A and B are shown apart, each in its own frame.
Chain A
Amino acid sequence: MESPKTEDDRLQMFFDGELAPEEEAAVRRDLEGSPEGAAQLHEWEQLRQAMKGVSTDWAANVDSDALFARIESEINAPVVPIERPKQEQPVLRVVPGGRERRVWGGVATGFAAAAAIFLAVMAWPESHLDPAPAARGSEVVEVDFGSNTGTIFEVEGGAGESLAVIWIDDEEVGLP
């Protein structure tokens, strides 16, 4: 049993005349053996005739010899450089004063805007640029007690700040 696709392919090859004579005869018998097949065969024959007719009519209207002759003549034609018409240099003319002022006015406005932006950036309060809060108190960064012993304390100041106290033990030193 053949699949529908295979059947379609067979029918396509039948109408294209690509089947072997025995197979073509068998397909034709099958189609003519049933009313539906006969109707389909008739329909396809009509379609093929119509396409053939259209193709013949189109080919009759085209003078292929003349078309190819024209293409060939245009290919072989010498190359002619295209000369563009010379454009005359525009004559310098005096710009009206109002227009000149507009141009300079635009430049001046741009210049003033740049200056204003520059001024605004530079005059911005430094507190915005330096948000670090002011530190309070005192703290030890480095200490060398030498041969003595010592202790570092942190004492709270009057405003709550931390104050550094370096306490070093020693013996009383007399005046030199």
Chain B
Amino acid sequence: MSLIRHLLVIAILFGASVSSGASAQSNSLARSDRASTTSSVPAEVLVVLAKEEPGDIDPQLKKLTALRRPPFNSFRSMKILSRPKLKLTPGKDALVSLPNGRRMKLTLLRVMPDGRYKVKAAINRPNKSDYLPLLQVVASAGDPFFVAGQTYQGGTLVVGVIVDPKKTAQ
């Protein structure tokens, strides 16, 4: 009887190891390609009006040191016009209205094996493709990419997109 109990314990331990192994394997798979399993990823769009005239730099932008380097270093003032937060769902477009009437369309394509996000972006007027028909970017969590150059109210629009802003890459 003790022998049967002994074998039962071993079988239970083995079963537990198999299930934990399967779990670990599924985690590994999820890491390699999370596009099929990721429900949504938070993102933030920073719409900034930059001008060459001397003025204030929005204090919220001071931590973005990239905006003080070329090609942005010619701007003397920067003002945040909007800072919409959205969720990027694989295969679904997320729209952000820009102050110049154009709309930015963002789509999460997939999560790369190294954890970065592959994002598709387009900026156009509704039902038009007059400005930026297609852009594909790979970005790590918390690191922005910028689309700049649209003229607006005597200044230039600088649009920064940050995927998974609260998470920073290791």
A141 within 8 A of B: yes
A126-B150 contact in complex given A112-B10, A137-B143, C-beta closer than 8 Å: no
A141-B118 contact in complex given A115-B14, A168-B149, C-beta closer than 8 Å: yes
A164 pairs with B145, CB closer than 8 A: yes
| Choice from A150, A153, A157, A175 contacting B70 with Cβ under 8 Å | A153
Kindly list chain A residues whose C-beta atoms are within 8 Å of the C-beta of B134: 142-144
Stretch binding the partner chain, chosen from A1-9, A55-63, A69-77, A128-136: A128-136
A153-B71 contact in complex given A111-B14, A144-B135, C-beta closer than 8 Å: yes
A45 within 8 A of B: no
Determine the distance from Cα of A145 to Cα of B134 in the docked complex, in whole angstroms: 7
B129 pairs with A136, CB closer than 8 A: no
> Which parts of B125-147 form the interface with A (CB within 8 Å)?
125-126, 129-140, 143-147
B146 pairs with A166, CB closer than 8 A: yes
B3 pairs with A134, CB closer than 8 A: no
Determine the distance from Cα of A123 to Cα of B125 in the docked complex, in whole angstroms: 52
Contact-residue size bin, chain A (C-beta under 8 Å from the other chain): 35 or more
| Choice from B10, B129, B146, B150 contacting A165 with Cβ under 8 Å | B146
Determine the distance from Cα of A129 to Cα of B139 in the docked complex, in whole angstroms: 23
B23-52 toward A: CB 8 Å interface, digit per residue (1/0)? 011011001000000000000000000000
> Which parts of A162-176 form the interface with B (CB within 8 Å)?
163-176
B170 within 8 A of A: yes
A49 within 8 A of B: no
User: Distance (Å) between the CB of A1 and the closest chain B CB?
Assistant: 94
